[in-house]
Structure 1
Amino acid sequence: MEVEHDTVSLGEFEFECGETIPDLEIEYEAYGEFTGDNAVLVCHALTGSAHVAGTHRSDTGGQARAWWDDIVGAGKAVDTTEYYVVCANVPGSCYGSTGPASENPETGEPYGTDFPPVTVGDWTEAQRALLDELGVPHLHAVVGGSVGGMNVLEWATRHPDHVERIVPIAAAARLDTQCLAIDAVARRAITTDEDWNGGDYYGEDRPNPKDGLALARQLGHVMYLSKASMERKFGRRAAGRDAVRSFPADPAANFFPYRDVESYLDYQAEKFVERFDANSYLYLTRAMDNYDLSSGFESDADALAAFEGEALVMSFTGDWHFTTQQAESLADSLRSADVEAAHHVVDSDHGHDAFLVEPDHVGPPVADFLEAGVAGNAVTDTAGDEEEGESDFAPVHTSLFS
């Protein structure tokens, strides 16, 4: 599979907040051949990159492994022999696109917290500008998971005439209060790290706020897993004899076991701080938390009213970050906007990470929807029965597509 990997300069860019930067660079990867009507945009999740598929790379700032290689590629659900697939790193990230860690050409120093606040709308407009540079006026589909699914919805709102099909996966019209609260604590873990230094920590002689970022990431991992998956993977087991605590512990810790789940979270945090920027984490979580599909409209349905394509909403029963109930509410709004929409619910205990780790259950409905829309054989609308504002739906068991 041939991969086009490049960075495009979009010139001066005005953010939704009204601030501008002199040059916005967007890193992207493209796969397959563009034939005029076969373009598919894939939107990455919070800390993802443009490297969605293909061989491992060492120049992605640490994320060498393609994050959705089981779904995107030759002969896979998003078939790169059939579709021209583009994935762009969003503004504010640290994986090649301009963000807080990038050099401000006007000062010669990293932007840090002088970088403008970013929104999901900014991501969408940057993607639209990138596609213009690539000569892609119209999209067959936009697909994305988690906050990438919010990015998908924003395409239907901002550019309804530019896309035929949308696939928001493990996403919702907005974040609920519990998740807002956890994200707030995660950001405070970063900003209360003394090494954060008001966001000015760049330079060889300045330590990064690794402890704060590590704690923020650990909170994120707890959000991404379900109770069932955590019990199955870790239980209350003590970590192996070779496991060493990554963080300072209280004196009583020597009496109690260092548990397997603690070791897992410490390991994930250690890996994450090596590859991600703390300021970017602050900016991207703010963008996700701020997103509200109905902002500027009377309702979610009103926001989607101009979209005349088709939609496949996917959710997972074990996901408490973006629940099946939130997904059903989104599907209802699409139907109220006269959009042909299916809500495909997968019975899974993997939690929010299911859209990344269960390709056998994500791939078939996505592939069928891209090919045939809501009429696809594997696209099951398990939530289309409505009466007096309530919907009755049952999960599609994962064994259906085993």
Structure 2
Amino acid sequence: MTEPTDATVDSSLSLGPFEFECGEEIPELEVAYETYGEFTGDNAILVCHALTGSHHVTGAADGQGEGWWDQIVGPGKAIDTHEQFVVAANVPGSCYGTTGPASTNPETGDPYGSDFPAVTVGDWVRVQRRLLDDLGIDRLRAVVGGSVGGMNALEWAKRYPEMVERVIPVATGPRLDPQLLALSAVARRAITSDPAWQGGDYYPDHPDSGLALARQLGHITYLSKESMGEKFGRDFADSAPGTFPSNGRGADDRIAGFGPDSYRDVESYLDYQAEKFVRRFDANSYLHLTHAMENYDLAANCDSDAEALADFDGEALLISISGDWHFTVEQSNHLMESFERAGVEATHRSLHSDHGHDAFLTEPELVGPPIRRFLSSDSSDFAPVHASLFAQ
């Protein structure tokens, strides 16, 4: 074996025809992936990205598209690529290299659009498994992911428990609660109500206004009351709304009788985030990925979450964020109890942050240390990982 390094490889793999769990098939599925470090036989870690992330885990930060965990993964970092071989794959249905709705259907020469099959978290795991098989990896030291990437990690423990030594679900839950389902439904309607939507077959145009509103609604759920109060308060913005279709205000507000002081800092921030997002993401992909998240249920085809995890004999580290109302601390407590009922050695670390759900991305100084300790602890014979490892 060669000496481990922090070498990075950005590549793609054709899996040929692929049948999704919905029963529909596409003639070819291309999966984009990136690896970091050198594989030594027992040091592979699969990192699962969040909703609009990509396989570009490190590098120059570009929102959640690229470099989204650059301060967690890399040489000498919490997931140390001098020691670990990290694999990250873009999930099916996305728009970052793996086949999705914006990809060309080889049978028609046009984008799939509305013809692209519905995807599930299970489909993501099946594709990742086939990628790992191609890379010659039959055992994972760990699977780690945040938000819906944490659901991805949980599904690995359920579906392929014999392949996983450790699982690290971060800021996630076994399913979405009704409030998040409702908000997601409104975001979906924002996209499909855009006149440019065209039933999902809008290429080369894009329903930017609807996608921007959907992203703004989603972004609100990633923040906390405390963080929004600290960042924006009730202050008015220094400049008036721009012409970007996401703001939905400007002239309409003036017609309705609102004055120029009706545009606040918090709105300006949401407009800025939406403008960045529509430049990098596809509306169809957003709908497919949110649909997969909405429909995920760890206990599917089982009597309980504990039964779903019963075959997993490794170890688990659950990380939650105190200010997170997207995936709450209580949901991680429930997961902890489910792992324990399944006989799995598990530790739950609730991290204090006022920054809400996004803290798992924006506060690596909080999230990194427990991950580092969990991965560096003795794993011979799956030795129990005790809570004392994570004392403040």
Which residue type is aligned with residue 268 of structure 2?
Answer: S
Give the Cα separation in 2 of the matches to 1:248 and 1:154: 39
Give 1:296's aligned residue.
301
Deviations 1:251-290 (A, max 9, x none): 2233533100000000100110011000000000000000
Matched, 1:106 2:107: yes
Which residue type is aligned with residue 220 of structure 1?
Answer: G
Provide the secondary structure at the position in 1 that maps to 2:185.
helix
Matched, 1:31 2:32: no
How far is the alpha carbon of 1:371 from its aligned partner? Answer: 1.6
Give the Cα separation in 2 of the matches to 1:238 and 1:368: 44
Give 1:117's aligned residue.
118
Give the Cα separation in 2 of the matches to 1:117 and 1:193: 21
Give 1:253's aligned residue.
258
Whether the 8 Å CA contact 2:196–2:206 is kept in 1: the answer is: yes
Give 1:21's aligned residue.
26
Identity %: 63
Give the Cα separation in 1 of the matches to 2:101 and 2:191: 15
Give 1:385's aligned residue.
none
Whether the 8 Å CA contact 2:22–2:118 is kept in 1: the answer is: yes
Whether the 8 Å CA contact 1:245–1:266 is kept in 2: the answer is: no
Give 1:191's aligned residue.
192
Whether the 8 Å CA contact 2:319–2:349 is kept in 1: the answer is: yes
Give 1:277's aligned residue.
282
Whether the 8 Å CA contact 2:299–2:308 is kept in 1: the answer is: yes
How far is the alpha carbon of 1:248 from its aligned partner? Answer: 4.2
Within a 5 Å distance, the mapping from 1:206-285 to structure 2 comes to 207-241=205-239, 244=242, 246=244, 247-249=247-249, 250=253, 251=255, 252-285=257-290
Matched, 1:133 2:146: no
Q: RMSD value over aligned CA atoms? A: 1.5
How far is the alpha carbon of 1:378 from its aligned partner? Answer: 4.3
Deviations 1:289-309 (A, max 9, x none): 000000000100000000000
How far is the alpha carbon of 1:56 from its aligned partner? Answer: 6.2
Whether the 8 Å CA contact 1:25–1:98 is kept in 2: the answer is: yes
Which residue type is aligned with residue 282 of structure 1?
Answer: L
Residues 341, 165 of structure 1: alpha-carbon distance in 2 compared, 3 angstrom cutoff: same
Give the Cα separation in 1 of the matches to 2:56 and 2:66: 8
Provide the secondary structure at the position in 2 that maps to 1:261.
helix
Whether the 8 Å CA contact 1:239–1:263 is kept in 2: the answer is: yes
Whether the 8 Å CA contact 1:245–1:263 is kept in 2: the answer is: no
Residues 189, 55 of structure 1: alpha-carbon distance in 2 compared, 3 angstrom cutoff: closer
Give the Cα separation in 2 of the matches to 1:241 and 1:378: 50
Give 1:41's aligned residue.
46
How far is the alpha carbon of 1:376 from its aligned partner? Answer: 7.2
Give 1:332's aligned residue.
337
Provide the secondary structure at the position in 2 that maps to 1:314.
strand
Whether the 8 Å CA contact 1:33–1:83 is kept in 2: the answer is: yes
Give 2:382's aligned residue.
none
Which residue type is aligned with residue 349 of structure 1?
Answer: D
The TM-score normalised by the length of structure 2 is 0.93
Give the Cα separation in 1 of the matches to 2:11 and 2:29: 14
Provide the secondary structure at the position in 1 that maps to 2:360.
helix
Number of aligned residues = 374
Give the Cα separation in 2 of the matches to 1:243 and 1:378: 50
Matched, 1:379 2:390: yes
Deviations 1:8-48 (A, max 9, x none): 10111111111111111110010000011000000000000
Give 1:394's aligned residue.
none
Give the Cα separation in 1 of the matches to 2:206 and 2:9: 33
Provide the secondary structure at the position in 2 that maps to 1:8.
strand
Structure 1 regions of 5+ residues with no counterpart? 381-399
Give 1:94's aligned residue.
95
Deviations 1:207-261 (A, max 9, x none): 3100000000000110000000000000000111376364342222335331000
Which residue type is aligned with residue 233 of structure 2?
Answer: G
Provide the secondary structure at the position in 2 that maps to 1:253.
coil
Provide the secondary structure at the position in 1 that maps to 2:212.
helix
Give the Cα separation in 1 of the matches to 2:370 and 2:184: 31
Provide the secondary structure at the position in 2 that maps to 1:173.
coil
The TM-score normalised by the length of structure 1 is 0.90
Structure 2 regions of 5+ residues with no counterpart? 1-5, 380-384
Matched, 1:3 2:14: no
Give the Cα separation in 2 of the matches to 1:211 and 1:300: 39
How far is the alpha carbon of 1:3 from its aligned partner? Answer: 1.0
Residues 139, 376 of structure 1: alpha-carbon distance in 2 compared, 3 angstrom cutoff: farther
Pick from 354, 358, 370 the counterpart of residue 353 of structure 1. Answer: 358
Whether the 8 Å CA contact 2:34–2:88 is kept in 1: the answer is: yes
Give the Cα separation in 2 of the matches to 1:165 and 1:379: 16
Give the Cα separation in 2 of the matches to 1:181 and 1:63: 24
Provide the secondary structure at the position in 2 that maps to 1:139.
coil
Deviations 1:350-381 (A, max 9, x none): 1000100111111110011112162375435x
Residues 276, 165 of structure 1: alpha-carbon distance in 2 compared, 3 angstrom cutoff: same
